[in-house]
Amino acid sequence: MKKVEVVIRKTRFDDVREALNEVKIEFFTFWEVRGVGKASEGRVYRGIAYDTSTIERILITFFCREKFLEPAIKAILRSAKTGEIGDGKIFISDIVDAVRIRTGERGDKAMYLDGEE
């Protein structure tokens, strides 16, 4: 099992969500986050441009089986890429175990509904 954390541009969120659904990643959590990096975003308010020191992004987190990992990565790369600095990052971690609270099932079985492969 893997934990995948993805930081993307806010403007690419809908595209990434659709791409993940196409490769059977049907549940994930996300947050609107701010960070500091090489890219900067300017804001225009009443005709005056302001340079902000923080960058708005979306952080997506999901857990998946090994067999869904590469399709998910390819879907994210395809849907989030603009080719400019600040497109984001994908972080992948190993998950030792998972437990479904309702039934006590562990491992891969805890991650999917009854009868799903």
User: What is the rounded distance in angstroms from the CA atom of residue 66 to the CA atom of residue 95?
Assistant: 11
Q: How confident is the model at residue 87 (pLDDT cuts 50, 70, 90)?
A: very high
- pLDDT tens sequence across 19-68: 999 999 989 999 999 887 666 556 677 777 766 667 889 999 999 999 99
User: What is the rounded distance in angstroms from the CA atom of residue 86 to the CA atom of residue 97?
Assistant: 33
Question: Side chain identity at 93, as an amino acid letter?
Answer: S
Question: Side chain identity at 11, as an amino acid letter?
Answer: T
The pLDDT, as a whole number, for residue 88 is 94
